Structure 1
Amino acid sequence: MCCNNEVNKELFEAVLKLKKQSHGNFKLKDIYAGEFMALRTIHKLKQRNDENSIGVKTSDIGKCLFMKKPATSKMLNNLEDKGYINRLSDKKDRRVTYIDLTEKGEELLKKHHQQMVDYTNRVIHEMGEEDMKTFIKLLNKLSDIMDDLKDS
């Protein structure tokens, strides 16, 4: 097995640098990154379920975000206080609470999505489409290798 400490270090540093840059390029006004992920999760779960449903179960949100009930509840309280979500009780079973995005929450997601599209278009332009395709191919290969190794 190959064991080049310099390459190991460079890979680790490059991944950390990409992660830091990807998180730092988009400033969210009054919302934490975890809260934003919750908004995205609510949006995706609602799309997956049925767009006409009244919302997403709080337990499903917690499962997707790997959060325990108290942490999920606290985060949802913060999002509700900021006006990004609404809580709705199930009329048949009051123990079940559904979460839905408000118009303000939907607008934040749309705005952020457009910022991401604009930003990635600029990155692709600067890097060049062929280099980007090669980079994506290599990233997917790395991801597949890492996925295979996690079970061994």
Structure 2
Amino acid sequence: MAGGGEETAARKLIEVFMLFNKMNWNHQPLDLKQKHSELRLLVVIKRMGKGDKEGIKVSELSKFLRVTSPTVTQLLNQLEEMGLVVRKEDPKDRRAVRVFLTEEGDLTAKKALKGFLDRMNGLIDYLGEEDTEELIRLLKKTTTYFEQMNLNDSGGDD
């Protein structure tokens, strides 16, 4: 794009990203009282924690969620107070702690996941299959672009 068209397209993108950022992503089943970030963490623990046997390390959670370990620890403290997770010493590495869902945490994660999936399935129905696939492709491409920009900005040494 050349000239004024670039500015117009850039402004439209900024507006759409701002609207997207202000969206209420916290829609959840009414019987769940946790914050969106807490529910997301429960779902990730459920999906990555390999059941009751292994649990998951805080460092693995922070890497997957792309947040710092202290951020994950703060969320885990809240979830632990609610009785949704427990932390146990890693038998293979006494310095490490593994996180496990409690029965209530597992039930809450299942409800949250169902709520997330219902919402996305509603979007798929609204957009249709072709537009959904196009949206997925464009979001992946956009994510790749911004990840590369962030690497370039930080010098790639993190």
TM exceeding 0.5? yes
1:51-98 per-residue CA deviation (whole Å, 9 max, x = no partner) reads 4534223343344443244x4433222111111101223457654322
> Gaps (5+ residues) in structure 2?
153-158
The percentage of counterpart residues that share the same residue type is 28
Distance 1:92 1:119 in 2: 40
Distance in 1, Cα, partners of 2:130 & 2:90: 51
Q: 1:103 to 1:52 in 2, by over 3 A?
A: closer
Q: Is the 8 A contact 1:54 1:88 kept in 2?
A: no
Aligned to 1:116: 116
Q: Distance in 2 between matches of 1:83 and 1:41?
A: 17
Match of 2:17 in 1: 15
Aligned length: 148
Distance change (3 Å), C-alpha of 1:91 and 1:114: closer
- What per-residue deviation string (whole Å, max 9, x for no partner) do you get for residues 117-136 of structure 1? 22222222222223333333
What is aligned with 1:130? 130
Asked whether 1:67 is paired with 2:73, we answer no
Q: Residue in 2 aligned with 1:6?
A: 8
Deviation at 1:151, TM superposition (A): 4.8
Aligned with residue 44 of structure 1, among 43, 47, 70: 47
The Cα of 1:11 is off from its aligned counterpart by 1.0
TM-score if structure 1 supplies the norm length?
Answer: 0.71
Gaps of 5+ in 1: none
Contact 2:43 2:110 in 1 (8 A): no
Q: Whole-Å Cα distance in 2 between the matches of residues 151 and 63 of structure 1?
A: 16
Q: Counterpart in 1 of 2:155?
A: none
Counterpart CA distance in 1 for 2:117 and 2:69 is 32
**Whose relative contact order is higher, 1 or 2, with alpha carbons under 8 Å and at least 6 apart?**
2
Partners of 1:63 and 1:86 in 2: how far apart? 20
